[in-house]
Structure 1
Amino acid sequence: MRPRSGPTVEHRVLAARLRKLRQHAGVSLQAAAVALGAHPATVRRIERAETGLDAHQVRVLLERYAVSDAEAEPIMAGIAAANLPGWWHAWRDALEPWQQEVIGIESSAALVRTWHPALVPELLRTPAYEAALRRSLSADPPSLGARHLELLAERQRRIEARGAALWALIPAAALHTTVGGPAVMAEQRAALEEAAQRRHLTVQVMPLDYPPHPMTGVPALHLLRVPAPEIGDRAVLETAGARVDIIDDPAAVMDYRIRLDSACAAAPHPGSPLPGAGRPAGSP
């Protein structure tokens, strides 16, 4: 079995189908485990995509659930692809487990919405901005920092290549927080202005003199939508102390979506000039 690097969406979809088939058949975790000759925790891990899919185990479970050959065939045919490591596996040494999970979902997301209360969101950062930020906030060795920059560039490239929609809400404070010096900020501002003109990118900036809005005080937030009915939307909340919560509860995700929708509605229309356009970066 390959080293774990977080499940791909293909893996998550098959795992979710197995869970739904078990529930539809009225088979308990315990009964499914008996069919496998295993512990119920094994079935639970299979259904949560926490372990690689074994073709023999999957076949036994499908037979226990009385799944027809026509319905079982595409599931069995998809096991090999589901077990392949995600493209981010090459950077596994530089990733925390939560990052592997987030990138696994992000890699198939049709829509990524992002907000940061004080900085340019990660997926819109230039290499120089990200490198300077990591030097300021992280004690990681330079070699690890370089790996993170490579990974970020690949994430950005893949989102662009597959035409996924990226919608970012940025507070104007992010453009006044000097990261890396005036030259780095000038390059970052230019990159944001260019990004705002791309077809699949939406950039909104909340001016400093606007009143509080529904995202005021909310930590960095990312909403991920995957076009697969088996996988619900995810909210990724980066809280204080480097804690990250990956939220899949539909009601909680909906609450954050409504908050972000309302804040975006209160912000200047996409395509509006960035605040302070024409002023040298880093100037007061």
Structure 2
Amino acid sequence: MPPTANPTLRQRRLGTELRKLRERAGFTVTEAAAHLGVNQGRVSMIETGRSTLSADRVRATASAYDCSDEALIDALASMTGRRTRGWWEEYREHLPAALVDLAELEHHTAALRVALVIHIPALLQTTDHARALFRAVVPAMRQHEIEHRLTYRIKRQGILYRDTPPPYTAVIHESALRMGFGGPTVARAQLKHLLEMSELPHVTLRVIPFGAEYLPSTGQSFDYLEGPVPQLDTVQLDTHHGGCGFLDAEAQLSKYRAVLDHMESHALGPAESRDFIQALIQDV
């Protein structure tokens, strides 16, 4: 098959995990090529996500690398094939590639945990709140760019309304709830929307009030997307220029899991968080 010119995040991740298996087996690229019966260039394309693989080929590669983790092998095999033509593909010409990759990653996630200090989680934002955020971006977006971002964000929110939605946990600092983007009317509607969403059985919303003793030192917002096995989890970091940074090294995943656990341990419980937000609505 011809190489993939622009592999998606999911395709690149498959290649990365196969590279990790090769390195754990102690094989160089040359040795791996000999074991697999291919040239070195083919191994390089596989590990950069530019070579489309079948599920059988992934299993054979894992076997050659002496991997015995059946759950991981099954998960990797499920990531094979050409790019899924999901709804997000129509935005590749209009939005940064990382944003489109995020939608694909969310589509396949088994569970999603997010932590925010300044902003409301994207999947829980109202249209008016999101529009106010996009209008405040520097440099300013043109109107058609704002509309692209809005429709994209609304479609991303669709994962919370699927027949079998992923469990979603959001830890939000009080400062994000008090920012007031768009003015009092928009802010009040946003807080009411958070209350409505928190009533969904798969959505857990927890607030860290100003008086809490713990907050990550950087105050950076991030999403933790769980894969079918822990090795395939991904952390998505919001960057200052509005893009997405993706982390998947085992040490990084462990760090951000611990950060989330600490934040949740210092946050109000779900019922207390709803009461807290209800009280804030009266102050807006």
* TM norm structure 1: 0.77
Q: Which residue of 2 aligns with 1:100?
A: 100
Matched, 1:130 2:125: no
The alpha carbon displacement at 1:194 in A equals 0.7
Matched, 1:268 2:256: no
Q: Can you list the C-alpha shifts for 1:173-214, whole angstroms capped at 9, x where unaligned?
A: 122111111221121111100111111100011122x13314
The alpha carbon displacement at 1:12 in A equals 4.6
Letter in structure 2 aligned against 1:222: D
Equivalence map 1:2-41=2 (5 Å)? 4=6, 6-8=8-10, 12-13=13-14, 15=15, 19=19, 28-33=28-33, 35-37=37-39, 39=41
Matched, 1:172 2:174: yes
The alpha carbon displacement at 1:238 in A equals 2.1
Letter in structure 2 aligned against 1:105: L
After TM superposition, the structure 1 stretch with the greater mean CA deviation from structure 2, 196-205 or 233-242, is: 233-242
Q: Distance in 2 between matches of 1:241 and 1:148?
A: 15
Q: Distance in 2 between matches of 1:168 and 1:66?
A: 38
Decide whether the 8 Å contact of 1:167 with 1:202 is kept in 2: yes
Q: Distance in 1 between matches of 2:91 and 2:243?
A: 21
Q: Which residue of 1 aligns with 2:199?
A: 197
After TM superposition, the structure 1 stretch with the greater mean CA deviation from structure 2, 241-250 or 179-188, is: 241-250
Q: Distance in 2 between matches of 1:173 and 1:30?
A: 53
Q: Distance in 1 between matches of 2:22 and 2:277?
A: 58
> Matched residue of 1:240: which SS?
coil
Decide whether the 8 Å contact of 1:5 with 1:89 is kept in 2: no
Equivalence map 1:139-154=2 (5 Å)? 139-154=140-155
The alpha carbon displacement at 1:136 in A equals 1.0
Q: Distance in 1 between matches of 2:280 and 2:263?
A: 26
Distance of aligned partners of 1:3 and 1:186 in 2 relative to their CA distance in 1, 3 Å threshold: farther
Q: Distance in 1 between matches of 2:115 and 2:79?
A: 36
Decide whether the 8 Å contact of 1:205 with 1:274 is kept in 2: no
The alpha carbon displacement at 1:111 in A equals 1.2
Letter in structure 2 aligned against 1:147: H
Q: Distance in 1 between matches of 2:279 and 2:218?
A: 29
Q: Which residue of 2 aligns with 1:227?
A: 228
Distance of aligned partners of 1:123 and 1:66 in 2 relative to their CA distance in 1, 3 Å threshold: closer
**RMSD of the alignment, in Å?**
3.5
Distance of aligned partners of 1:196 and 1:29 in 2 relative to their CA distance in 1, 3 Å threshold: same
> Matched residue of 2:222: which SS?
strand
Q: Which residue of 2 aligns with 1:117?
A: 117
Distance of aligned partners of 1:276 and 1:201 in 2 relative to their CA distance in 1, 3 Å threshold: closer
Decide whether the 8 Å contact of 1:5 with 1:92 is kept in 2: no
Decide whether the 8 Å contact of 2:98 with 2:243 is kept in 1: no
After TM superposition, the structure 1 stretch with the greater mean CA deviation from structure 2, 25-34 or 165-174, is: 25-34
The alpha carbon displacement at 1:28 in A equals 3.5
Equivalence map 1:75-90=2 (5 Å)? 82-87=81-86, 88-90=88-90
Q: Can you list the C-alpha shifts for 1:54-75, whole angstroms capped at 9, x where unaligned?
A: 67xx69x86x9599xxx9xx99
1:181 to 176, 180, 183: 183
> Matched residue of 1:271: which SS?
helix
Q: Distance in 2 between matches of 1:225 and 1:239?
A: 20
> Matched residue of 2:136: which SS?
helix
Distance of aligned partners of 1:196 and 1:54 in 2 relative to their CA distance in 1, 3 Å threshold: closer
Decide whether the 8 Å contact of 2:172 with 2:207 is kept in 1: yes
Distance of aligned partners of 1:184 and 1:98 in 2 relative to their CA distance in 1, 3 Å threshold: same
- Consecutive unaligned residues of structure 1, counting only runs of 5 or more, are none
Q: Distance in 2 between matches of 1:18 and 1:263?
A: 33
> Matched residue of 1:94: which SS?
coil
Distance of aligned partners of 1:27 and 1:119 in 2 relative to their CA distance in 1, 3 Å threshold: closer
Q: Distance in 1 between matches of 2:126 and 2:120?
A: 10
- Consecutive unaligned residues of structure 2, counting only runs of 5 or more, are none
The alpha carbon displacement at 1:248 in A equals 1.2
Q: Can you list the C-alpha shifts for 1:42-92, whole angstroms capped at 9, x where unaligned?
A: 42331242x14167xx69x86x9599xxx9xx99xx799620334111111
Q: Can you list the C-alpha shifts for 1:140-193, whole angstroms capped at 9, x where unaligned?
A: 222122122112111111243131011101111122111111221121111100
Distance of aligned partners of 1:5 and 1:199 in 2 relative to their CA distance in 1, 3 Å threshold: farther
